[in-house]
Amino acid sequence: MKVLLINGSPRSDGNTARALAEMCRVFEKNGIETKLFWVGTKDVRGCVGCGNCASLGKCVFDDIVNEISAELRDADGLVVGSPVYYASPNGTVLSLMDRLFFSAHYSMAMKVGAAVVVARRAGTTATFDVLNKYFTISGMPVASSTYWNDAFGGSPGEAEQDVEGMQTMVNLAENMTFLMKSIALGKKEYGIPKNEKRFMNFIRPEGNVKAIKAVKAVKSAPAQALNKVLHRGKKAGKEEQS
Ligand SMILES: Cc1cc2nc3c(=O)[nH]c(=O)nc-3n(C[C@H](O)[C@H](O)[C@H](O)COP(=O)(O)O)c2cc1C
């Protein structure tokens, strides 16, 4: 059983590193293999939306993103640690996550995800939300703790004094271990759930004609259109009663 940890901070011994180290200690105690990727000073460029990953199965920019992607394929969990920059994950983490999740053409379903965020003072929950969205669009169950997964500290190491923050990391790693182990058992017993995979933009050619007509009707005669809708509602109600 293996978990990958990404540290997006440019400070190798910073507060994100301390939070992740706390988790690693628990994983190792629980017999979970860990692999840490420190990406904070790497030149991780953003996604250019070229779509070549669809045929290549990996990103056209062959850097740390592809390295992590290859490791993640067989991993059971992923922890993404980011410092809070302007109430968001830092730029390196965002670029990495966009490219990692867009280019990986294997299923991430049932790999357990966890975001860990560290700030001097504010913006942790907004940052946490951003990172969790990569997991929840990918069929990845999200591990939770006894608080949102944040720790507070400004200069390197300060977060260690955030006793509750460090406790959150310990509990997160314990809960994540339990989830990964439970999912491994569940996979054996039930397999991975089969999900429907229909993909659709909001542009619907056949539905558009009707929708445009309806909007036009409302714009030109809002009162009549409203009446029509209300009338339709009443009629439907009567039909239901009868
Ligand atoms: C560009 C930049 C933006 C930052 N923005 C925030 C912020 O919005 N909120 C906050 O509390 N701290 C902010 N910080 C402080 C860091 O989040 C804080 O120092 C944190 O401990 C850094 O984690 P690290 O030691 O792992 O690098 C910012 C720091 C930098 C360099």
pLDDT single digits (tens) 124-158: 999 999 999 999 999 999 999 999 999 999 999 99
Q: Which residues does 138 contact at the CB level (< 8 Å), separation at least 6?
A: 101, 108, 109, 113
Q: What is the distance, to the nearest Å, from the Cα of residue 206 to the centroid of all Cα atoms in its chain? A: 33
172 and 209 within one domain: no
Mutate to test the pocket of ligand 1, among 120, 149, 161, 162 (most ligand atoms within 8 A of CB): 120
Q: What is the model's pLDDT at position 21?
A: 98
Residue 200 lies in a domain: no
148 and 172 within one domain: yes
124 and 223 within one domain: no
Count of domains observed in the chain: 2
Please check the confidence at residue 22 and state whether its pLDDT lies above 80.
yes
Residue 7 lies in a domain: yes
pLDDT digits (tens, 9 = 90+) for 49-69: 999 999 999 999 999 999 999
133 and 23 within one domain: yes
125 and 234 within one domain: no
139 and 47 within one domain: yes
Residue 198 lies in a domain: no
CB of 87 closer than 6 angstroms to any ligand 1 atom: yes
CA of 119 to the centre of ligand 1 (A): 5
18 and 98 within one domain: yes
Return d(Cα 161, Cα 159) in angstroms, integer. 5
What are the strands, taking DSSP E only, across the chain? Answer: 2-7, 33-38, 77-85, 88-89, 112-119, 150-152
Residue-range definition of the domain harbouring residue 169: 2-190
Q: What is the model's pLDDT at position 27?
A: 98
For the chain, what percent of residues have pLDDT higher than 90?
81
Report the chain's mean pLDDT, rounded to a whole number.
91
235 and 172 within one domain: no
Which letter does DSSP use for residue 142 in this model?
B
Residue 199 lies in a domain: no
| Domain final position from 190, 217, 233 | 190
47 and 20 within one domain: yes
141 and 99 within one domain: yes
CA of 162 to the centre of ligand 1 (A): 15
Residue 132 lies in a domain: yes
pLDDT digits (tens, 9 = 90+) for 149-180: 999 999 999 999 999 999 999 999 999 999 99
Residue 195 lies in a domain: no
Residue 83 lies in a domain: yes
Residue 111 lies in a domain: yes
pTM: 0.86
Q: pLDDT confidence of 202, banded at 50, 70, 90?
A: confident
37 and 154 within one domain: yes
Q: pLDDT confidence of 226, banded at 50, 70, 90?
A: low
Nearest CA to ligand 1 atom 3: 85
129 and 49 within one domain: yes
CB of 154 closer than 6 angstroms to any ligand 1 atom: yes
